[in-house]
Structure 1
Amino acid sequence: MSFQLIVRGVSLSDVEHSLGLLSGRAEVFPIDPVHVGIAIPTRLFDTLGEDKIREALKHMMVYDLYSGDWSGAVVCPARRTQPGDLVSRSRH
């Protein structure tokens, strides 16, 4: 099992740079042009602690796949995110 996150609106290289504390031990991968996925092994997550990981990503908009919540920059806490919200939508 792993700690799984999605970051929106930040490049893959920026996410990798921000997670330098993980020393390449986490999987960081592109999902689409707007979203980057992160999978952090449970042992690594437990060793470092959630606070350090969240601190490294605090300037980014992060979706926690376990809780189903967005956190970080420009969050609307009153609304819970639905799976379809992860897909970029065009304006009409």
Structure 2
Amino acid sequence: MTLEIPLLLAAVSLFSALQMGYLARQVGLARMTHKVMPPAVTGPPEFERTFRAHQNNVELYPVFLVVLWTSGLLFSEAQHSIIFLVFEVPL
């Protein structure tokens, strides 16, 4: 019995982790731009939108990863990788 390495699932996971890092960096830049010092989470509307976008992703990221890996390993890896990759790409 051979065990296949789920490269597509790993690639989608890596892409999503890079997206989380990008969003975290955007929050840091917004903090500097609008002079909002941590731990404050309120400020100008532009900062709050950036912060909430990142926070919404942080809140649902564990669910995203669990569903990605579970569905990808139990069903079609390629099909679920494409579905979740489309889900990750911002419109």
| TM-score of the superposed pair, with normalisation by structure 1 | 0.30
- 1 or 2, which has the higher strand percentage? 1
| TM-score of the superposed pair, with normalisation by structure 2 | 0.30
Structure with the larger RCO, 1 or 2 (CA within 8 Å, 6+ apart) = 2
- 1 or 2, which has the higher helix percentage? 2
- Structure with the greater alpha carbon radius of gyration: 2
